[in-house]
Amino acid sequence: LSSPQRSDIGSNIRAGMEKLRRFQLSDGSFAYWPGRSETTDWNTSYAGHFMIAAKKAGFTVPADMLENWYHYQKRAALKVSVDELKGNPVRLKTHAYRLFTLALYGQPAYAPMNVLHQSAIKGQIAEALLAGAYWISGKGDVARAIFKKLDQNVQNYRENDGSFGSGFRDEALMAQMLALTSHKIEALRLLNKLLKMDKAGVYLNTQEMSFLFQAVAALYGGSLDQPIRFSYTFNGQAKS
């Protein structure tokens, strides 16, 4: 990136952080709307994921926001029991995402990770996220064992609450975890499918776009001789 480009990105991230601060509650979690008092656990992990990624990219992240987020995530991870995850795929996925973000932060919650791994509870995206958590925690053998048994074919769906998920979002997450754990061929196959859907004009919400870009970055980041170039339409105007 050129200096002006990095400066613009930095300004946008700072503005995003200040806006995000309005969603954070006193216990460190995040609400769905600013001014609300109810924690949304998926969004809490999503907000933390953004802050960690920004910090790793060299941008300034308010230390108090990230630290308070971490303490909430750690407490929440330790409170979850296997029984409350049974028969609740959304809660299972949300718990696994929390574990992944803690590992990404550099503070893996090994006890909850091991409990989930050793349980009989199954869920595609939850298992993929758990594999990602193990991988970045230095336990690649466990991550590979999880993926060896995992069905990577994600079913299409859409939910308007819970994790606000969709088949596209979950496929992008799966591609990201595959790329992260060095399953490059599988990640590329899935990513090509998603990019074809995007090119065909399929509407993507903010979360779907976010995880798509993260999957691209996980697969190609740091390995290209030339920058990635893409085009998109915003407010009816084509940009590149």
d(CA 95, CA 91) in angstroms, rounded, equals 6
Distances in whole angstroms, Cα of residue 189 to Cα of each of 35, 126, 154, 171, 233: 42, 20, 13, 11, 25
Q: Which residue has the higher pLDDT, 216 or 238?
A: 216
Residue range 178-201: mean pLDDT, rounded: 89
Residue range 123-150: mean pLDDT, rounded: 96
Taking only the tens place, the pLDDT of each residue in 30-64 is 999 998 999 999 999 999 999 999 999 888 999 99
H-helix or E-strand containing 48?
helix 41-56
| Average predicted confidence (pLDDT) for the chain | 90
Taking only the tens place, the pLDDT of each residue in 113-130 is 999 999 989 899 999 999
d(CA 187, CA 230) in angstroms, rounded, equals 19
Residue range 120-142: mean pLDDT, rounded: 95
Choose among 166, 147, 39: nearest CA to 93: 166
Choose among 225, 220, 216: nearest CA to 198: 216
What 3-state class would DSSP assign to 219? helix
Residue range 158-177: mean pLDDT, rounded: 93
Phi, psi of 75 (to 5 degrees): -65, -45
Q: In the predicted model, is pLDDT for residue 6 greater than 80?
A: no
Q: Judge contact between 192 and 179, C-beta under 8 A.
A: no
70: which 2 tokens? 């971490």
Of 25-29, 46-50, 210-214, 229-233, which range is least confident? 229-233
The pLDDT score that the predictor gives to residue 166 is 95
> Environment class of residue 106 by beta-carbon count within 10 Å: exposed (0-12), middle (13-18) or buried (19+)?
exposed
Taking only the tens place, the pLDDT of each residue in 8-24 is 887 888 898 999 999 99
Q: What percent of the chain has pLDDT over 90?
A: 72
